[in-house]
Amino acid sequence: MQADPSAGKAPRGEALELVIFAGDAVLAHPLPPSGRVTIGRAEDNDVRIEHPSVSRRHAVLHLDPGLSLEDLGSANGTSLRDSRRTPEDGSTQGLIQIAAWKVDVTPGDTLTFGSVMTVIRRAAPPDELLPAGDGLAPGVVVHHPAMRALYAQATLAARSYLSVLVLGETGVGKEVLTRAVHQRSPRAKKPFVGLNCAALSESLLESELFGHEKGAFTGALQAQPGLFEAADGGTVFLDEVGELPMTMQVKLLRVLEERQVLRVGGRNPRPVDVRFIAATNRDLEAEAERGAFRQDLFFRLNGITLTIPPLRERAEEIAALARTFVERACAQLDRPRVPALSGEALAQLERYAWPGNIRELRNTIERAVVLCAGETLRPEHLPSRLQASGVKAPPSSRSDAAPPSSLPAPPSRPAAARADERERIIAALEVCAGNQTQAAARLGISRQTLIAKIEAYGLPRPRKRT
């Protein structure tokens, strides 16, 4: 193989990530600017891939002075598809087998560890989906009348001082809408700080939200402001607010009422000026009625409610979203030729019910782009579940219908969609060896939601390994 002057190089200072295609999930691992990243099945690897075809110590990705991949003598080998040498006809002649030696790699290359496919790509800019001004930035698709009305409501809500509650199923784009509210508000030039309330333990959540004083707990070597103080003058986004423990709900209510925070270990409250936006896939009103969520906190958060309809109810946006995701995936992979979306592939995308909504569509397209070496994205590049999918779920007859709670959809949901979700849960649990936290992350839902779905579908709860 002749030397390529561009091999192993990436623009200085540009963030890269290693993306793993595990079943239906697409998992992105940010790469450090320098050093080495170990890859394998063992828990102490920097990037862990839980798959039987991956060795415990499989490979090392070297990040300086240039990008290179070293196989560590893995049992099932490592292969590389060089993105710069992919033939015009889309054949696999660019495939290079790596066995106990090192080879230069570059963003866009596809790496296969055992039978698990990964790709090195440029990390997406964090704000690339933000609406700008009165228009919409590239990547935000608003074609359906209900979505146009929703963004009009968001613009009006942005100008008020009221708290905003964003409702919608998992993956519908709640954070995108939340950032739109912030960008169109008088606080647009101030910080936008977000936190996933389901991602941290209660003790860590309290420290992240309220901050702590020096010596407040073991390891608190210096005082640290919390999220509320960091966002002073701007917007605080509480994602998955329905997952907040009851004790934290009490403390959040106090902040909303008094506009003061008390750091962990502190004695003197500190004033804060923030606008609160919360988001959840739960029906918080129903949760409050049955005592699972504080009713007074619900009323405080529910100044203005914005409900995002699921993707299956706005199928006319699928084509534009898919093409946007294809273009973005190619840009991240340094592919100058953007494959066209065939009519057959688009028909399959539009027939599918998309229980994971826009997030599932994006993951599906990113995987398809990696599999597509030619100039047209065809049905064979899409997951088999799309080919087996029959009819979409029927749209809701109520325009103001509240989003479902964390429990699975009611029996009116098509059996194919319920069976598909059940299989996705089983597959995620198998890939994660029964680890419910990791399986929930792969599915894009909280652990509590996963447990509720496991019980609703009558699946056995995984037992902890001894």
Report the CATH number at residue 378.
1.10.8.60
Within 314-363, strands assigned E span 340-341
Q: Are residues 159 and 288 in the same domain?
A: yes
Query: Tell me, what's the pLDDT at 92?
Result: 42
Handedness of CA 291, 297, 300, 306 (dihedral sign): negative
Q: Specify the number of domains making up the chain.
A: 4
Q: Are residues 167 and 236 in the same domain?
A: yes
Taking the model in full, what pTM does it have?
Answer: 0.72
pLDDT band at 54, cuts 50/70/90?
very high
Q: Are residues 178 and 300 in the same domain?
A: yes
Q: Are residues 333 and 282 in the same domain?
A: no
Q: Name the helix (H) or strand (E) containing 327.
A: helix 318-332
Query: Tell me, what's the pLDDT at 18?
Result: 94
CATH number of the domain enclosing 415? 1.10.10
Determine what percent of the chain is predicted with pLDDT higher than 70.
81
Q: Is the peptide bond before 339 cis (omega within 30 degrees of 0)?
A: no
Query: Tell me, what's the pLDDT at 402?
Result: 40
Can you tell me the distance from the alpha carbon of 162 to that of 326, in angstroms, rounded to the nearest whole number? 37
Taking residue 360's Cβ as centre, other Cβ atoms within 10 Å add up to: 23
Taking residue 132's Cβ as centre, other Cβ atoms within 10 Å add up to: 13
Q: Are residues 192 and 300 in the same domain?
A: yes
pLDDT tens digits along 150-206: 988 998 899 888 999 999 998 998 999 999 999 999 999 999 999 999 888 888 888
Can you tell me the distance from the alpha carbon of 261 to that of 96, in angstroms, rounded to the nearest whole number? 57
Q: Are residues 303 and 347 in the same domain?
A: no
As a whole number, mean pLDDT of residues 408-431 equals 62
Which range is least confidently modeled, 315-324, 426-435, 449-458? 426-435
Roughly what angle, to the nearest 10 degrees, separates helices 436-443 and 447-456?
Answer: 90
Q: Are residues 161 and 302 in the same domain?
A: yes
**262 to each of 132, 192, 228, 268, 353, how far by Cα in Å?**
35, 21, 10, 7, 46
Tell me which residue of 114, 119, 96 sits closest to 29, measured CA to CA.
Answer: 119
Do the beta carbons of residue 202 and residue 247 sit within 8 Å?
yes
Q: Are residues 464 and 422 in the same domain?
A: yes
pLDDT at residue 466 is higher than 90: no
Q: Are residues 189 and 257 in the same domain?
A: yes
Domain that holds residue 78: 16-122
Q: Are residues 106 and 157 in the same domain?
A: no
In a domain, 130, yes or no: no
Query: Tell me, what's the pLDDT at 132?
Result: 38
In a domain, 361, yes or no: yes
Q: Which of 122, 154, 173 is the last residue in one of the domains?
A: 122
pLDDT tens digits along 258-302: 999 999 888 889 999 999 999 999 999 999 999 999 999 999 999
Q: Name the helix (H) or strand (E) containing 164.
A: strand 164-167
Handedness of CA 77, 82, 85, 88 (dihedral sign): positive
**175 to each of 114, 242, 375, how far by Cα in Å?**
35, 15, 33
Q: Name the helix (H) or strand (E) containing 218.
A: none
Polymer length of the chain: 466
Query: Tell me, what's the pLDDT at 4?
Result: 45
In a domain, 164, yes or no: yes
In a domain, 393, yes or no: no
pLDDT tens digits along 14-53: 789 999 987 667 888 999 989 999 999 999 999 999 888 9
Q: Are residues 372 and 242 in the same domain?
A: no
Residue 403 token pair: 């989003």
In a domain, 133, yes or no: no
In a domain, 7, yes or no: no
Q: Largest alpha-carbon pair distance within the chain?
A: 69
For 220, list phi and psi in degrees, rounded to 5: -85, 80
Q: Indicate the pairing of strand 95-98 with strand 340-341.
A: unpaired
Q: Are residues 59 and 80 in the same domain?
A: yes
Identify any residues that bridge with 117 across adjacent strands, giving them in sequence order.
Answer: 21, 112
Query: Tell me, what's the pLDDT at 403?
Result: 39
CATH number of the domain enclosing 35? 2.60.200.20
Kindly report the average pLDDT of the chain as a whole number: 81
